[in-house]
């Protein structure tokens, strides 16, 4: 059974079509990258897949359950870290985890145990009593990730988890995610940093202008191109866009 099955997904905001008919099957147990330039519709797609945004058309199934008709089954099985939405920032890191875990219906003692371990692993133990509003971007992403992992979901959706994150935090997040997929769980994350996707993922879907341009195992999508970056630029039609004219004054030591 695929981790996620999307059929005929559409979303329009006024005049602009954000997602223009997506059909996609994401295999379970993989580290999946959803790549595409800014404005390709990645966030809109992930929001609809996780039930945070109602699609105009189409169906979404997560591990065999319809997201809109069977939310009880779906919401217990997924973890989400959205981009551009706040957390409950006036709670401390630890309080945020305690709150999320209990809201998920986990027993209090278990929540506290897991929270302690997650805070340790994600290098947040020192800041656990600070309010999230005072956290840096990297720390916010990490506490968001901890909140998404707390109930041990089968599928984890991360929207731009590495955006604005320093290299040390990025490495920490990577370590946790690799350990998590190693146990058979599925991670779906969006990014526009190809090097990162190439080094982390074994399965990718390329999105541009609201559509899926290519999908499949990494090697297949990359094809004959030397890097995913090259393959991606060709797929979205941005290859060879030269910047030779103008700017001829730039560089060269003269003023």
Q: Does 74 bind another protein (CB under 8 A)?
A: yes
Site for another protein in 208-227 (CB under 8 A): none
* Per-residue buried b or exposed e for 183-204, using 16+ beta carbons within 10 Å of the residue's own CB: eebbbbbbbbbbebbbebbebb
Choose among 84, 60, 92, 88: nearest CA to 73.
Answer: 60
Q: Is 194 in a helix, a strand, or coil?
A: helix
Helix (H) or strand (E) holding 242: none
Near another protein by CB under 8 A: residue from 83, 95, 154, 163:
95
Instruction: Round to whole Å and give the CA distance between 193 and 58.
Output: 29
Instruction: Name the residue nearer to another protein (CB basis): 134 or 195.
Output: 134
**Of 16, 69, 103, 199, which lies in the binding site for another protein, with binding defined by CB under 8 A?**
103
Within 42-71, the residues that bind another protein by CB under 8 A are 50-54, 71
Instruction: Please identify, using beta-carbon distances, which residue of 67 and 235 lies nearer to another protein.
Output: 67
Q: Are 222 and 228 in contact (CB under 8 A)?
A: yes
Is 100 an interacting residue with respect to another protein (CB under 8 A)?
A: yes
Q: Which is nearer to another protein, 44 or 186 (CB)?
A: 44
If binding is defined by CB under 8 A, does position 16 make contact with another protein?
Answer: no
Closest to another protein by CB, 103 or 219: 103
Determine contact, residues 22/9, Cβ cutoff 8 Å: yes
Instruction: Confirm or reject binding of residue 82 to another protein (CB under 8 A).
Output: yes
The mark string for 181-210 relative to another protein (x by CB under 8 A, - otherwise) is ------------------------------
Task: With contacts defined by CB under 8 A, name the span among 38-46, 91-99, 201-209, 216-224 that binds another protein.
Answer: 91-99
DSSP state of 203: E
Task: Say how many Å lie between the first and final Cα of the chain, rounded.
Answer: 63
CA dihedral 128, 133, 136, 139 (to 10 degrees): 40
Select from 134, 178, 195, 220 the one that contacts another protein (CB under 8 A).
Answer: 134
**86 alpha-carbon distance from chain centroid:** 15
Site of interaction with another protein (CB under 8 A): 50-54, 71-72, 74-76, 80, 82, 84-92, 95, 98-100, 102-105, 108, 126-127, 129-131, 133-134, 136, 147
């Amino acid at each position: 059974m695929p981790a996620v099955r999307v059929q005929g997904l559409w979303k329009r905001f006024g005049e602009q079509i954000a997602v223009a008919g997506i059909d996609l099957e994401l295999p379970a147990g993989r580290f999946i990258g959803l790549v595409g330039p800014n404005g390709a519709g990645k966030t809109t797609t992930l929001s609809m897949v996780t039930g945070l945004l109602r699609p105009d058309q189409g169906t979404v199934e997560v591990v065999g359950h319809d997201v809109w008709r069977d939310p009880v089954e779906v919401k217990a099985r997924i973890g989400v870290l959205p981009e551009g939405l706040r957390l409950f920032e006036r709670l401390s890191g630890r309080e945020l985890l305690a709150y999320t875990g209990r809201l998920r219906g986990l027993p209090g003692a278990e929540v506290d145990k897991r929270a302690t371990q997650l805070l340790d692993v994600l290098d947040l133990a020192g800041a656990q009593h600070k309010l999230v509003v005072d956290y840096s971007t990297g720390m916010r992403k990490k506490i968001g990730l901890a909140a998404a992992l707390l109930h041990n979901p089968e599928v984890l959706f991360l929207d731009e988890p590495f955006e604005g994150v320093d290299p040390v935090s990025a490495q920490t997040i990577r370590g946790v995610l690799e350990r998590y997929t190693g146990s058979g769980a599925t991670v779906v994350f969006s990014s526009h940093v190809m090097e990162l996707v190439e080094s982390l993922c074994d399965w990718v879907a390329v999105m541009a202008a609201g559509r899926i341009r290519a999908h499949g195992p990494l090697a297949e999508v990359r094809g004959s191109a030397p890097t995913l970056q090259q393959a991606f630029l060709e797929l979205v039609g941005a290859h060879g866009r030269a910047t030779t004219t103008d700017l001829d004054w730039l560089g060269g030591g003269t003023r």
